[in-house]
Amino acid sequence: MKTVFCLFSIIFILSSCFKYSQPKLLSLSGEYRIDKITYEKTDNTDTLEFEVILDGMYVNTSEVDVLDTIILGFTSLHMDYSMIRFKPNANIDGSKTWTKEYYYYVHGPYSVYDLGYMEFDCDGTNRRWKILDDGLESLVVRTTGQWSFGNAGPNVSLTYYMTRVGP
């Protein structure tokens, strides 16, 4: 009886010491609407500026690509498990035809705290979006690059807050 109690105690102690946390499974598929954009800017003195762009604003990122003009609350994109689509055209029957399609690849997730990043080639330019949060009905990604964004100047990091609006 004493050995059974000791064996049970040792098994209980050893099995309760380790907490295993598995990386999150990403669910990127669906149609998303860009609701909010924030940007961070670093200048020569390494200070960080932070500004929130609120709903309903018109944003022109001055890049001639699929995200050259964003109307917050209206601009949408669609992802499935291998393609990201931009610039929808509405059909008469209510469906959408996406005019720009690109294959993307997801690197990661690496841990519970690092969800990885997605990478796609957009008209000859490599785009990398860091996945910050993948919620049930939301997605937050951060992109960096040489943006000429309003009066922010170059070296701006944009964060897109998106809401899932469709399958």
Residues, the chain: 167
Q: 38: which 2 tokens?
A: 């924030």
For 69-106, write each residue's pLDDT tens digit. Answer: 777 888 889 999 899 998 888 888 888 889 889 999 99
For 20-44, write each residue's pLDDT tens digit. Answer: 666 678 889 999 998 888 877 665 5
The model's pTM? 0.74
Radius of gyration of the chain (CA): 22
pLDDT of residue 166: 86
Instruction: Give buried/exposed letters for 7-33 (b at 16+ CB in 10 A, else e).
Output: eeeeeeeeeeeeeeeeebebebebbbb
All domains in the chain, ordered by first residue? 22-166 (2.40.128.280)
- Residue 54's Cα: distance from chain center in Å? 18
- Residues 6+ away with beta carbon under 8 Å from 45: none
pLDDT of residue 56: 46
